[in-house]
Structures are given as C-alpha cells and as structure tokens.
Amino acid sequence: MQAFYDYLDTHHDQFLAELKHYLAQPSIAAQNKGMREMAALAQQRLEARGFKVELLPTGGQPVVYGELGDGPKTLLIYDHYDVQPPEPLALWDSPAFEPTVRDGKLFARGAADNKGDQMCRMQAIEAWLATQGPLPLKIKWVIEGEEEIGSPNLEAFARAHADRLKADGCLWETGGRNELGQFSLWLGLKGIAYFELRLKLLDTDAHSANGPVLPNAAWQLVWALNTLKGPDDQILIDGYAEHVARPTPAEIALVDALPYDAEKVKSLYGTPRFINDMDARAAKRAMYFNPTLTICGLESGYTGEGTKTVLPKEARVKLDFRLVPDLTPDRVHDLLRKHLDARGFGDIEIIRYAGEHSASSPADAGVVQAAIQAGRAVYGADPVIYPRMPGSGPMYPLSDMLGIPAVLAGITHHGARAHAPNEHIILDEYWRGQKFIGEFIRAFAAL
C-alpha cells in the first residue's frame, strides 16, 4: 500500500482544490437551491474515477447512483449531495459557500455533513486505481439529495431498487472522532418522529377577563403535555413503554465500557446537573438506550415585551421523539393519537413531519470488522465502538430494511459544527480519512 499512501501524500494541492470546488456549489434541498448543478457535479466527479453513473429519479431530488469494480464482495456506500441551509449568515466568519482554510481547518457548509466524506472517498479510490490496479470489490454508491429534509423518498427508492442495491455491507455517510478525540465507529442510529400539536379553541383571541368561562388553548395544551411525560422524565403515553426494547446485558456492557466525559458535556451547555441528577454512567446509558420526547418549540398568545391581557385562541408545540427499537414513527403517532383521544384531547391536531426508523447493525458484521482493521492500521488504536448514535438519520431503508449491515466511519469530529455556522473539517483528518478508505477496501475485500 506504500504507493497508495505516496500518491495521496503528493496530491494534497490538487485534492484540496477539487474539494473546495465541490463545496463551493450550494445545494440546499430545503430551498431547492443548486440541486441540479450539484447532482451533475457529483456525477462528473464519480465518472472521472471511472464509475458508471445514473441519475435515478425519486419523487423529489434524483439519486446519483454509481457502480465501479468487481469481486466476490459488494460494498454499498451512502452519502448525500444536499446540505443544510447556511442561515444565520452573519455568524459565519467566512462565507458558507466560499471554502476557506484557517488554522488547518476547512470551513464551508457541507464540509462535515457530508461533502467532505464524499470527496475523501472518491480521491482515495482514485489513488487506489492509480497505484493498486482495479478495485478488489464492487462498489455501489448512493448519493441522495434529500437527507437534510428527512429523506422522504429514500425508503421508496430502496424498495424499488432492492435487487440492484444488494450488498455485503454498507459504509455510511459520516463518523470520525468522538468528544475525547478517539477514532470511533457507530453501528446504528436512533429513529425520530417529529410532530406539531395544534389546538385552536376560539375563533379569535379574547380579553383575559373572559378567563372564568372561555376555554384556554394554552392551558389545555399544558395539561395534555403533562400527561405525555412526567417530571421524572418518564414517557407516559399509553402503551409506549411496551415497545421500548430493553438493552441486552452485552449491549449494556459495551456502553458501560465507552469513554464519556460527563463534566465536559455539562460544561459545554452550562448546566450543573443532568436530568434526575444522573451520574456519568446513567447518562451514558440514557444517551444510547433511552427514547426521548423533547419539546423543541412552544408558542401561544402574546410573547412580546411587557404585558398583554389576552386569552389566546390557539397554542402549538413541536415534539421530537427519538426512537430506539422497536418504536417506529407510525407506532408513535398511533399511540399518541389514542392517548390524547382517551383523555379528552381529541381536538388537538397532530401534524406529522417525516420520521425515520432506528437502525442497528451487529458488531461482528464484516463491514464493522473491516472498519476496525482499517482503523487500527491508520489511527494506531482500536476504534471505540458505539452501539448507535443518539441522533437520527435515514439508515434504516438501506441497512435493516434490505438486510445490509452498516457502519458509520468518517472524517468529522466533535465540534465540527454540522448544521451550524462555521461548519468545518480538520484537514489532517481528511488526509488520514483517505488512507482509512484504502485500508477499509482492502480489508473488506479480503474477508
């Protein structure tokens, strides 16, 4: 592999220029901005490495789909060519779509999530082809265009192309170093179900002197919410707990062995204590095994300065459920609807936003073992293995649903500011990530 390493080490200028060009193209799915141009650019960059590429239609943005190589093993790669909106623009130290290097970091929207990983993987494959000959396995590459808006068409896409997407393992879009700086692998993601609850009880806001007789939507919503989760943070929705899979002793042991700096997390957010005064071990288990019900937003009536004596006609709350097996978005919606109806809150409307299933792969899967070997070779230590990320993503349709084990391994780090101003990657991690990809391909093909 020395020639492979040398090729990578001697092409930094060319690779960085290509990466910057890739990041300079806006591709904001939420605003349908630059999407066609970005899909064409992704296609072109894959074709430059010899991939046979098609733009496969979905109900929304097309999937850029590429195939290259041959061998007994097939590797599915998932990335996405869309990015989060860059707002608030004023908080960026350099413009979001003018990639800028400062202090060994490359700042741009999409650098960490996830164009950096995409280009890193393409350039590693270029180096392989230039120094090692043809790929020792078949790569099937899905680059979708709707990840940042909840991948509303990915499940249907995966069903429609189930045969074509068959693979022995899947390398997921991102990953990298944990908050302690250790190279880490994640074997899945929590699911998510996001709802808005709306209650409108009056045609018009009323003077609050009518408080003795007119129903108040804000109070009703408070009482309804109070039945969903109690002050001990337990989710109280009827039948919910039955669908929360208990972690196995092996999973608990795995999580208990993980590094975790509770004080660092508390200090990052400025809180003296976790929920229920959890200690570090309890907090760590909660992060990986507990489903959540988070109030993301709450709004009713007058929220400006000072006072307004108003009885609001309506109230709204945004709720984010993070799901562990075997909760699903449909199941959560149905349980929530029944729970509210059973308590006289049938007039609360539930608006559904796109949900995602949780996804989990076994630690002994080939794709995981190959990533562990490649991690040892490049980072000089055993990767830390997490059962799942506490966040969510559209892994389920391409992994659990198609029966393909998946692993999250990439070039980002804690503090990369994905989704926020000044998103960035560390360039040394990028160069190291290219080597990881070569070692990973070699290990996976050889299994």
Question: Which of 302, 334, 350, 381 lies at the binding interface for its own copies (CB under 8 A)?
Answer: 302
> Does 204 contact its own copies by CB under 8 A?
yes
* Count, residues near its own copies per rule CB under 8 A: 87
**Cα 231–Cα 237–Cα 242 angle in degrees, nearest 5:** 110
Q: Which of 3, 17, 30, 48 binds its own copies (CB under 8 A)?
A: 30
Q: Is 201 in the site for its own copies (CB under 8 A)?
A: yes
Give the residue from 402, 299, 340 showing the smallest Cα distance to 76: 402
Angle, CA of 331, 333 and 334, to the nearest 5°: 65
- When binding is defined by CB under 8 A, the residue of 11, 18, 20, 219 that contacts its own copies is 219
Query: Which helix (H) or strand (E) covers residue 439, if one does?
Result: helix 427-446
Dihedral over Cα of 333, 339, 342, 344: its sign: negative
**Angstrom distance (rounded) from CA 335 to CA 350:** 12
Q: Say whether residue 194 binds its own copies (CB under 8 A).
A: yes
Asked whether position 225 contacts its own copies by CB under 8 A, the answer is yes
User: Is the torsion defined by CA of 19, 20, 24, 26 positive or negative?
Assistant: positive
Write down the residue that tokens 């990320």 correspond to: 389
Phi/psi for 238 (5° steps) reads: -50, 125
CB of 337 to its own copies, least distance (A): 19
Residue list 248-277, contact with its own copies (CB under 8 A): 265, 269-271, 273-275
* Minimum CB–partner distance for residue 366 and its own copies (Å): 28
Binding of its own copies by 229 (CB under 8 A): yes
Q: Tell the smallest beta-carbon distance from residue 446 to its own copies (Å).
A: 34
CA neighbor of 345 nearest in space, from 446, 240, 200: 200
Cβ of residue 307: shortest distance to its own copies, in angstroms?
5
Q: Which of 44, 210, 234, 248 binds its own copies (CB under 8 A)?
A: 210
* Near its own copies by CB under 8 A: residue from 33, 36, 198, 318: 318
| Cα dihedral across residues 50, 371, 164, 147: positive or negative | negative
**Cα(176)–Cα(287) distance, integer angstroms:** 18
Task: Tell me which of 308, 350, 382, 446 binds its own copies, using CB under 8 A.
Answer: 308
Alpha helix (H) residue ranges in 112-216:
116-132, 154-160
Name the residue nearer to its own copies (CB basis): 13 or 232: 232
Smallest separation (angstroms) from its own copies to the CB of 414: 11
Tell whether residue 87 is a contact of its own copies (CB under 8 A).
Answer: yes
How far CA 218 is from CA of 45, 170, 203, 442, in Å, comes to 53, 46, 14, 59
Region 144-163 residues binding its own copies, contact defined as CB under 8 A: 149-150
Stretch that binds its own copies, among 61-69, 103-111, 197-205, 362-370 (CB under 8 A): 197-205
CA–CA separation, 411 and 416 (whole Å): 10
Of residues 332 through 361, those in contact with its own copies by CB under 8 A are 353
Partnered with residue 191 across adjacent β-strands are 323
Nearer CB in complex with its own copies: 355/438: 355
The Cα–Cα gap between 3 and 1 comes to: 6
Regarding 208 and contact with its own copies (CB under 8 A), the answer is yes
- Write down the least CB distance from residue 164 to its own copies, Å: 29
Among 304, 362, 380, 403, binds its own copies (CB under 8 A): 304
Cβ 151 to its own copies shortest distance, Å: 12
Select from 252, 267, 260, 242 the least CA-distant residue to 384: 260
As given in the structure block, the two tokens for residue 196 are 């808005």
Q: How far is the CB of 200 from its own copies (least distance, A)?
A: 9
How is residue 121 written in tokens? Answer: 């993987």
Residue 400: asked if its preceding bond is cis (omega within 30°), the reply is no
Does 213 participate in binding its own copies (rule CB under 8 A)?
yes
One residue of 310, 384, 401, 447 binding its own copies per CB under 8 A: 310
State which of residues 10, 14, 21, 31 lies at the interface with its own copies (CB under 8 A).
Answer: 31
Min CB(224)–its own copies separation in Å = 9
CB-CB neighbours of 161 under 10 Å: 16
| Near its own copies by CB under 8 A: residue from 38, 327, 389, 398 | 389
Among 160, 245, 420, 445, binds its own copies (CB under 8 A): 420
Q: How far is CA 342 from CA 86, 294, 318, 349, in A?
A: 42, 22, 21, 14
In whole angstroms, what is the distance from residue 66 CA to residue 51 CA? 6
Task: Report, in Å, the least distance between residue 225 CB and its own copies.
Answer: 5
Near its own copies in 108-147, by CB under 8 A: none
